[in-house]
Amino acid sequence: MIGNDPLDLEGQIAFVTGAGQGAGRAIALTLARHNAGGIAVNDFVAERAQAVADEIIALGIPACAAPADVSDIQSVTAAMDAAEAHLGPITLLINNAGNAGPSASMKPSPVFWETSPDEWDRYFKTNLHGVMNCCHRALPSMVKAGRGRVVTIVSDAGRTGEQRLTTYSAAKAGANGFMRSLAKEAGRYGITCNCISLSTLEPPLAEPEKSEFLASEQAQKHVSRYVIRRFGKPDDVAAMTLFLCSEAASWITGQTYPVNGGYTFAV
């Protein structure tokens, strides 16, 4: 049964990874504004996590910093244990932490055959193992509660392919496949598992550097490929995450929804 605000989170506790900046921060703040009962703000950098947790507390919503390296399962377990002790059982998990997306400078990476195998692991550790680690620790709480939402941020690079992002694409596509299968396992317990696939977000630069970058020929050329001619914003990602976390989306699972300005389409 849905009340007047179909996006009300009914006091549920969220764990948001990579939430110290950018889309992760926007997600954490948006969930807080829609009646989440508490937000655990994960980031690799403890100071960033604490700063966002403080912002949420200032909104009157319980929050805590939950610093951890998502690629380390022991670190994830300790952070979620501490978050649950502080806030209560986690029923919303947002896997946002990732690495090696397009950089602000958009400096091209080497073609795959010129990369060193030593470099591959770090993409898989964060983008795929990080998702698996967080789900492995969080799902038992959701099963016990008989409800839950897992939202994983993936990339159009993994969905449709992107040159010079080959290993990153593979890791993100892995996370996508993992989520589809998890959706089938977890649906019976009232848990939905979905992915949001992004194109390029505007870089997390301060002004005036950000405006200068967005006005640059390079940036304009980039967004000319998008139906909606702008880079994505953190709030675009947060809005879809909120919808998928809400009761309004209870029959949606196993899906990958692009939030990409129409860069590519999903069937």
Partner 1 sequence: MKTALVTGAAAGIGKACAMRLAKNGVAVGVLDLNLEECQTVVQEIEASGGKAVALTANIADRTEVRHAVGKLRDHFGPITIVVNNAGIANFIPFEDLTDKDWDIMFEINTKGTFIVTQEVLQDMKAAGWGRIINISSSSAQTGSKEQVHYSASKGAVIAMTKSLSQALGPYGITVNNIPPGAVMNTIMSEANKDRFRMSMDQLTKMIPVGRTGVADDIANACAWLASEESSYITGQTIGVNGGRVVS
Nearer to partner 1, 188 or 221 (CB): 188
Query: What six digits make up the tokens of 178?
Result: 């993992």
Nearer to partner 1, 79 or 249 (CB): 249
Binding mask 89-128 toward partner 1 (x if CB under 8 A, else -) reads ----------------------------------------
Q: Which residues contact 244 (CB under 8 A, 6 or more apart)?
A: 149, 151, 192, 194, 196, 252, 257
Rounded to whole angstroms, the Cα distance separating 87 from 66 reads 11
Among 79, 183, 219, 245, binds partner 1 (CB under 8 A): 183
Rounded to whole angstroms, the Cα distance separating 184 from 29 reads 29
| Total interface residues for partner 1 by CB under 8 A | 42
Among 33, 139, 188, 217, binds partner 1 (CB under 8 A): 188
Q: Decide if 62 contacts 37 (C-beta within 8 A).
A: yes
H helix runs in 68-129, sequence order: 73-87, 120-124
Name the region of 231 (left: φ>0; alpha: ψ -120 to 50; beta: rest). beta
> Is 257 one of the annotated active-site residues of the chain?
no
Binding mask 219-238 toward partner 1 (x if CB under 8 A, else -) reads -------xxxxx-xx-xx--
Q: Report, in Å, the least distance between residue 190 CB and partner 1.
A: 8
Please report whether residue 6 would count as binding partner 1 according to CB under 8 A.
yes
Q: Decide if 112 contacts 167 (C-beta within 8 A).
A: yes
Catalytic residues: 168
Residue ranges that bind partner 1, judged by CB under 8 A:
2, 4, 6, 180, 183-184, 186-188, 190, 192, 226-230, 232-233, 235-236, 239-240, 242-243, 248-262, 265-267
